[in-house]
Amino acid sequence: DSGVTQTPKHLITATGQRVTLRCSPRSGDLSVYWYQQSLDQGLQFLIQYYNGEERAKGNILERFSAQQFPDLHSELNLSSLELGDSALYFCASSGLAKNIQYFGAGTRLSVL
């Protein structure tokens, strides 16, 4: 168990809908990262938050947004969903050992 909790584990929704993925980092970790894993794109970095502030942005679509709350949990919001958004979404956190990231079990999103 990595200590990173992601909910829900599975999400099935329709095109055009909006969903929220939630992540609780390891206790004390200030950095949270979101990654997307799909068959065609592989594992891609989306966005990083550090202690509530956005720190780095990757290939994140404008339809996607994220935030980190004062209790350090993070949410990834995906809107106007398309079939191609179907993927595994991972959250990771890092703390004192800043280079090592601990991954949650992921949320599997299926857009039908």
Partner 1 sequence: SQQGEEDPQALSIQEGENATMNCSYKTSINNLQWYRQNSGRGLVHLILIRSNEREKHSGRLRVTLDTSKKSSSLLITASRAADTASYFCATAGGQETSGSRLTFGEGTQLTVNP
Residues that bind partner 1 (CB under 8 A): 2, 4, 30-31, 33, 35, 42-45, 48, 50-51, 55-56, 58-59, 88, 90, 92, 94, 98-106, 108
Q: How far is CA 29 from CA 14, 18, 40, 62, in A?
A: 34, 28, 31, 27
Helix, coil or strand: residue 70:
coil
Is the Cβ of residue 22 or residue 55 nearer to partner 1 in the bound state? Answer: 55
In whole angstroms, the minimum distance from the beta carbon of 77 to partner 1 comes to 20
Q: How many CB atoms lie within 10 A of CB 101?
A: 20
Is the Cβ of residue 18 or residue 50 nearer to partner 1 in the bound state? Answer: 50
Is the Cβ of residue 51 or residue 77 nearer to partner 1 in the bound state? Answer: 51
Residue 15 CB partners (closer than 8 Å, separation 6+) = 81, 82, 83, 111, 112
In whole angstroms, the minimum distance from the beta carbon of 16 to partner 1 comes to 26
Is the Cβ of residue 7 or residue 80 nearer to partner 1 in the bound state? Answer: 7
Contact 109, 78 (CB under 8 A): yes
